[in-house]
Amino acid sequence: AQSVAQPEDQVNVAEGNPLTVKCTYSVSGNPYLFWYVQYPNRGLQFLLKYITGDNLVKGSYGFEAEFNKSQTSFHLKKPSALVSDSALYFCAVRDEGGSYIPTFGRGTSLIVHP
Amino acid sequence: EPEVTQTPSHQVTQMGQEVILRCVPISNHLYFYWYRQILGQKVEFLVSFYNNEISEKSEIFDDQFSVERPDGSNFTLKIRSTKLEDSAMYFCASSEATDYSNQPQHFGDGTRLSIL
């Protein structure tokens, strides 16, 4: 079975400060991990993924995520937040040996204050 | 950049009526999906479709739901005898054929379905 948790419903950060949106996962085998962003009245937009290789993955719009196998985490990060980063962020996981349908987290609302 | 397009953007339907939601996936994609999202919260998987048949479906996808690819471009979700709890945003997504298991899904902007 595969599952993913986003422990924070909302994250608030000041513009220019670093941001972190947390994600932890549970799978039986190797994880495939994804981050998506959703702006108001829009569909989910792919940001980045981890399949294998370097634990630090870089994606769109200056976002990056760090895969930590021992902590079963895949936190999304950005060194300097922008007001335009304010959106809903979804983490998703797929178990390499399981269903090819990813399981999405409940989403974390990121609010960047000017 | 190619996009997944969905129509209509908003559908209002009386309870008990049938509704068809339409999607045009990205042209070279061969895997198609429907998801729903209630009140901007959790994204719930409904069904996946490949090679003109359902690949996987969730427990939400009961006999009330059906999907079809009637031609080479459209992918539809039909909900028969709609219920109040079917009110949600419905998202269509598609992904590439090659090594689909770790390819990201490309989502449309959704259809907001309101059941009265």
Q: Search chain B and give the residue with CA nearest A108.
A: B41
Q: Encoding tokens for residue A25?
A: 């996962």
Cα–Cα distance, B69 to B23 (Å, whole number):
10
B41 touches chain A (CB under 8 A): yes
Could B56 and A42 be called an inter-chain contact, meaning their C-beta atoms sit closer than 8 Å? no
Mutate to test the interface with B, among A63, A100, A108, A109 (most CBs of B within 10 A): A100
What is the phi-psi region of residue B64: left when phi exceeds 0, alpha when psi lies from -120 to 50, beta otherwise?
A: alpha
Question: Which residues from A are below 8 Å from B41, CB to CB?
Answer: 106-107
Is the distance from CB of B77 to CB of B64 less than 8 angstroms?
A: no
pLDDT band at B101 (very low <50, low <70, confident <90, very high): low
Could B105 and A46 be called an inter-chain contact, meaning their C-beta atoms sit closer than 8 Å? yes
CA distances from B104 to A38, A74, A100, A103, B98 (A): 14, 16, 11, 13, 11
A43, A44, A51 member nearest B102 (Cβ)? A51
In tens, the pLDDT along A35-80 reads 999 998 888 999 999 988 899 999 999 999 999 999 999 999 999 9
Is the distance from CB of B20 to CB of B72 less than 8 angstroms?
A: no
Dump strand ranges (E) for chain B: 5-7, 10-13, 19-24, 29-37, 43-50, 53-57, 65-68, 75-79, 88-96, 106-107, 111-115
Could B56 and A32 be called an inter-chain contact, meaning their C-beta atoms sit closer than 8 Å? no
In tens, the pLDDT along B42-82 reads 899 999 998 899 999 999 999 999 999 988 789 999 999 99
Residue A21 has pLDDT above 70, yes or no: yes
Question: Which residues from B are below 8 Å from A106, CB to CB?
Answer: 41-42
